[in-house]
Structure 1
């Protein structure tokens, strides 16, 4: 018998993952808007966006780690392991996203440099692989959490 608290934790975890996805969407839109301000970029506005996005991701991550701690108390080692893997992949995704944004600005500032476009494609490919790994972790989490019901 699993405590009703367990279901609430799992639901909140899924909500937080949805918030992460939405935060990435806002980050991407903000970066596209920033690129449209080139060649004299509105860096102050973009810097503020990065600050807000960083705070959002930090808050989400902190709460996910709290959920992990509560799951550990409920003796759910498998779910804790999935969350650890997820957090690692999310960190990598954020790093890749920042790398992609820098590469896009480089390509915009130096349209003659074909290496920039190749770099963008490579990073996009890494992001796709990262998203596939995240999806796999989420599937494992879903499977294992439903097994506990």
Structure 2
């Protein structure tokens, strides 16, 4: 494999991460639109959004895992594939936290008198912030290690 192939693979990885960020933005916007349809809620529309978002995340993850394999086996860079392994784990956690936050927001909207809902939202927001910090750190390590050669 030639260095230009390595560089192209790294660039593709960064592009996929950008796609992931954009997909989260669309997911958040879609959920906000869904909440505005309450209290009747347009669940069918939201369900379709969740399906599309899930497909997008699955496609991104599949390609990221292919890159991980190529970095490990074709370029003998287990360090970079390990960063991707950690990243994938944190991305999975972020998606789970995001889904929980969306449920908590709906619960708070449906039951404004329930103070626990607000506490739950704050707790989840804090966990998401910590998760994003960990993701950022992994990306910095990946960038540093990938530019080393």
TM-score (norm 1): 0.98
Give the secondary-structure state (helix, strand or coil) at the position aligned to 1:40. coil
- How far the C-alpha of 1:56 sits from its partner, in A, is 0.1
Give the secondary-structure state (helix, strand or coil) at the position aligned to 1:112. coil
Instruction: Give the whole-Å Cα distance in 1 for the aligned partners of 2:53 and 2:134.
Output: 23
Give the secondary-structure state (helix, strand or coil) at the position aligned to 1:54. helix
Q: Let me know the Cα RMSD of the aligned residues.
A: 1.0
Aligned to 1:124: 125
Instruction: Give the whole-Å Cα distance in 2 for the aligned partners of 1:103 and 1:137.
Output: 28
Aligned to 1:38: 38
Unmatched segments (≥5 aa) in structure 1 = none
Q: Deviations over 1:52-83 (max 9, x none)?
A: 00000000000000000110121001000000
Give the secondary-structure state (helix, strand or coil) at the position aligned to 1:12. helix
Instruction: Give the whole-Å Cα distance in 1 for the aligned partners of 2:55 and 2:96.
Output: 15
Give the secondary-structure state (helix, strand or coil) at the position aligned to 1:60. helix
**Deviating 4+ runs (over 4 angstroms):** none
Aligned counterparts, 1:105-144, within 5 A:
105-144=106-145
**Residue 56 in structure 1 maps to residue 56 in structure 2:** yes
Instruction: Give the whole-Å Cα distance in 2 for the aligned partners of 1:107 and 1:8.
Output: 45
**Residue 102 in structure 1 maps to residue 131 in structure 2:** no
**Residue 47 in structure 1 maps to residue 47 in structure 2:** yes
How many residues get paired?
Answer: 148
Q: Specify which structure has the bigger relative contact order, considering alpha-carbon pairs within 8 angstroms and separated by 6 or more residues.
A: 1
- How far the C-alpha of 1:4 sits from its partner, in A, is 1.2
Unmatched segments (≥5 aa) in structure 2 = none
Q: Deviations over 1:2-58 (max 9, x none)?
A: 621100000000000000000000000000000000000000000000000000000
TM-score (norm 2): 0.98
